[in-house]
Amino acid sequence: MWKNICKASELDQDQGVSVTVEGKEIGVFLVDEKPYAIADICPHAYARLSQGFVDGDTVECPLHEAVFEIKTGKCTKGPGSDVTIYPIQIVDGQVQIQL
């Protein structure tokens, strides 16, 4: 089941948006005009990736300098490990996620 999480107009290429869905903290990012959703919390220690530095299709943890691919959730520079990705889409101007 798809759930509305924010408006597509809230997404920006240069920063993430943090949402909580069914108790899961999720970072929503816009890469090449397409939305992506990953677990928002750095697996190394508690920090929101949605508040990190976005560079193209990667995001750097604001506290630990770990780097994650937004499209795949893969950790390309530690500390840390890969993060979960979630199916996401835009329908009628609404960003929707499927958990």
What is the residue-level pLDDT of the chain in tens, covering all 99 positions?
Answer: 999 999 999 999 999 999 999 999 999 999 999 999 999 999 988 899 999 999 999 999 999 899 999 999 999 998 889 999 999 999 999 999 998
Rounded CA-CA distance 67/62 in Å is 10
Residue type, 29: F
Please confirm whether the linkage preceding 62 is cis (ω < 30° from 0): no
Q: What integer pLDDT is reported at residue 64 of this predicted model?
A: 83
